[in-house]
Amino acid sequence: MKRFTFKRILATISVVCLCAITTVILAEYMKSNKGYESFGDTYSSECYSMRTKDGYKLINSKTGKTTIDKIDWLLASDQYSDTLVVFSKKNKRGYFNRYTGEVTIPEQYTHAWIFAEGLAAVVSNDKIGFINQQGKVVIGFQYPYLKDNAKNINFVFRNGYCSMFDGSGKCGIINQKGEWVLAPSFDYIETPVYGKRLFRNNKKYGVLDESLHVAIPAEYAYIELTKDAAVVTRTDESKSLLSYKGEMINPYVYSSIARLDYDTGKYTDSGIEISEPTGLYCYGMVNSYGLMSEDGKPITPPLYKDITPINKNLFQCTLKGSYSAIIIDRKGNVIKQE
């Protein structure tokens, strides 16, 4: 009876092992087999993509038929607001109809961007031009495609204008006729946010308004655009809030403010050390900190990794990018370099 039970156990174990091995082999086969697929993106109620071993393929959900296969990648406009979607096949770009999955403009360009305001930028023979949704060239291939500059902006029309580079590598603005409405004299000009365009010149940032006039000059290390105002960052990492007319709204913008208390060396009856306020504060700009007075005015720029009170009048500050520290007084004067 025991021998019979032992044989049954061995048989069961063998079956389980065989099933496990078969499952693994089948899974590997499915992965290596061209029929292995997973869902990609849905472009409409009638069209979706599947990921296969050979890339992507588009399927028309009404007919169940594959409309395009062996696609490298696909890129739709924001929130799929446009009918046409960019696709790449064998490193050539074209466009398909997101409702049917059918090719509208065959893959023939070395680079392509999404359609916006009826036009899309495409590259042929290292020149940028613009086509309409029928594939007709509307703005001729007259602008040089500079790969390094293209990393900074998208060649997309917004409010009738598009950033563009000239042969010298300078950036300006063109209209839908391909005419320069803002001369190419900038390092680059970004696509607008809240109608305003961030631009860079000589490694400094500024802002153009809706009329392409300089609203904030290129004087800042960086600028964050919000709906009603701009947060400007200086080279010392201090920040201010400016209106889009260049007017000061708030001279000091902080990510954090903390009161600085120092240990007195005195203890309560329960053994807890007593701390007292220094009367000063530590303000933060992301990961940079500075010393602030009680009335909210910076005493030092945000130059430090952290600030620790030594006593009421002295503060140890760790320098950014190193483990060295300095000691400053209440006025921000350096007393000692450690």
Please state, in angstroms and rounded to a whole number, the distance separating the CA atoms of residues 236 and 109. 45
Residue from 313, 308, 306 nearest 331 by CA = 313
- With respect to residue 165, please indicate whether it lies within any of the assigned structural domains: no
Question: CA torsion 102→158→199→288, rounded to 10°?
Answer: -80
For residue 331, the model assigns a pLDDT of 95
Percent of the chain with pLDDT over 70: 88
* Res. 90: pLDDT tops 50: yes
* Res. 224: pLDDT tops 60: yes
* Res. 238: pLDDT tops 90: no
- With respect to residue 291, please indicate whether it lies within any of the assigned structural domains: yes
**Residue-number span of the structural domain to which 301 is assigned:** 256-337
* Res. 16: pLDDT tops 60: no
* Res. 27: pLDDT tops 80: no
For residue 92, the model assigns a pLDDT of 96
| 278-288 pLDDT per residue, tens | 999 999 987 88
25 phi-psi bin (left φ>0, alpha ψ -120 to 50, beta other): alpha
* Res. 111: pLDDT tops 60: yes
The 3-state DSSP class for residue 15 equals helix
- With respect to residue 146, please indicate whether it lies within any of the assigned structural domains: no
* Res. 332: pLDDT tops 60: yes
Which pLDDT band holds residue 29 (cuts at 50, 70, 90)?
very low
More confident residue, 35 or 181: 181
- The continuous run of DSSP H or E covering 328 comes out as strand 325-329
| 31-45 pLDDT per residue, tens | 554 456 788 888 988
Which pLDDT band holds residue 2 (cuts at 50, 70, 90)?
very low
Which pLDDT band holds residue 108 (cuts at 50, 70, 90)?
very high
Token couple for 245 = 């007319």
Residue from 174, 193, 192, 196 nearest 183 by CA = 174
- With respect to residue 322, please indicate whether it lies within any of the assigned structural domains: yes
For residue 10, the model assigns a pLDDT of 53
- With respect to residue 226, please indicate whether it lies within any of the assigned structural domains: no
Query: Which pairing describes strands 204-208 and 334-337: parallel, antiparallel, or unpaired?
Result: unpaired
- With respect to residue 215, please indicate whether it lies within any of the assigned structural domains: no
The mean predicted confidence, pLDDT, of the chain is: 87
Q: How many CA atoms lie within 13 A of 174 on its CB side?
A: 22
Q: Are 275 and 259 in contact (CB under 8 A)?
A: no
- For CA atoms 82, 131, 126, 91, the dihedral sign is positive
User: What would the mean pLDDT of 117-146 be, rounded to a whole number?
Assistant: 95
Top-confidence range, 6-10, 27-31, 236-240? 236-240
For residue 289, the model assigns a pLDDT of 93
* Res. 170: pLDDT tops 70: yes
For residue 236, the model assigns a pLDDT of 80
The DSSP line for 232-259 is EE-TTS-EEEE-TTS-EEES---SEEEE
**Which range is least confidently modeled, 13-22, 61-70, 131-140, 250-259?**
13-22
- With respect to residue 119, please indicate whether it lies within any of the assigned structural domains: no
The domain total for the chain is: 1
Token couple for 250 = 């708030």
**Which range is least confidently modeled, 34-38, 66-70, 140-144, 306-310?**
34-38
**Which range is least confidently modeled, 28-42, 166-180, 237-251?**
28-42
- With respect to residue 273, please indicate whether it lies within any of the assigned structural domains: yes
Please state, in angstroms and rounded to a whole number, the distance separating the CA atoms of residues 204 and 201. 5
Which pLDDT band holds residue 22 (cuts at 50, 70, 90)?
very low
For residue 293, the model assigns a pLDDT of 93
